[in-house]
Amino acid sequence: MRMPVKVFGGRWERIGQLEQGGQGVIYLVKDLRDPQGGTAALKRLKNIQRLDRFSKEIRALKGLDAPDIVRILDENPEPPEPYLVMEYCSHGNLEKRALQQWKRKPLESISRILCIFERICAAVGKAHKAGITHRDLKPANILFRDDSDSPVVADFGLCYLDDDDSRLTICEEAVGPRWYMAPELESGRAKNVNPRSDVYSLGKLLYWMLSPGNVFSREVHREQEWNLIGLLNEPALEHVNVLLDRMIVVDPAKRYSDASEVAVAGAETNRLIKGGFRVISTKIQQRCTYCGIGYYKPVPDPYNFGIQTNYAGAKWRIVACNHCGHVQLFRLDLAEDSNVWDRDTD
């Protein structure tokens, strides 16, 4: 059945439909003022009762002029036909792109995924710096303009602006996607929303990107069934677990303060993984760097090596290869964080 022609604002001609939700419809449109200008995405609000939220989305996007955040081209926040026109990212969203990649072969590289994640965090960090909390971070809202690994953050329909004291979410309505939502936002609790809520969602997003495609309702990334190390058979993912420990956690105070801080931590995590640096843990099998066959095991009695553990306050940790006997020695009392190994025994 042929779609009837409709023009928004005397300018944007509808040529197809992209998505439809409970509150809005997104159409593929072309600009009658610029026939050679390609296509765009027009979001039409269906429920006029949500006009305040829609106006907030427009306001947020107009204040974010960044290449990694979806660009706004035109808007009309007034009834009876409020709409928002954005660039059309023709290469789909992260969900569709990743699932297609997984069907062909496993995720190509942990490092590549971390690079994409770092760019996502940098984009969200710009919103945080502008006083905007996204509140709806999920794979479907990360878009791509082309085949490159440069993501575009979209859909600020649930965003919160620091300079606006109003909370536009009905009290029983969940704020954000179920699987990615921070605990403090469940059941419509939006009183204490801040960038740390987005940090939680970004942690879930990273886990989804690496797992691949797994989601969970709560903070279980360390449990055996969900641990990335076992899922991908890659001990180096303990570096990612350390990153997630400060993201997927119930207490907001224990999370990174905003997405920019996550971007920095993500880049450091990527450096550690690409460089082949080991995680500080005796719970994870670590292959010997000398023979490449055996694995390091803790040595419970340092006296076997003629070491006096109580000499001048020295605190030793020793591991030895179970194949060739290669030994690694650590003086914990010389480390800035002398408890770095003790956490491994918790």
User: Is the omega angle on the peptide bond into residue 80 within 30 degrees of 0, that is, cis?
Assistant: yes
- Ranges of beta strands (E only) in 245-339 are 296-298, 316-321, 327-331
CA distances from 318 to 140, 188, 297, 303, 346 (A): 47, 51, 8, 11, 18
DSSP helix/strand/coil, 36: coil
- Ranges of beta strands (E only) in 52-114 are 72-76, 83-87
Q: What is d(CA 322, CA 267) in angstroms, rounded to the nearest whole number? A: 34
Residue 2 DSSP one-character state? P
Q: What is d(CA 226, CA 212) in angstroms, rounded to the nearest whole number? A: 11
Residue 70 DSSP one-character state? P
Q: What is d(CA 51, CA 279) in angstroms, rounded to the nearest whole number? A: 50
Exactly one of 65, 68, 74, 136 is catalytic; which is it? 136
Distance of CA 207 to the CA centre of its chain: 8
Q: What are phi and psi of 309, to 5 degrees?
A: -70, -25
Burial label, 188 (beta-carbon count in 10 A; 0-12, 13-18, 19+): middle
Rg from Cα positions in the chain: 25
One-letter identity of residue 5: V
108 closest CA partner among 237, 230, 210, 202: 210
One-letter identity of residue 107: L
Q: What is d(CA 107, CA 88) in angstroms, rounded to the nearest whole number? A: 26
Q: What is d(CA 236, CA 176) in angstroms, rounded to the nearest whole number? A: 31
Q: Among the residues of 157-214, which ranges form H helices?
A: 195-210
Active site residue 163: no
Which residues are catalytically annotated?
136
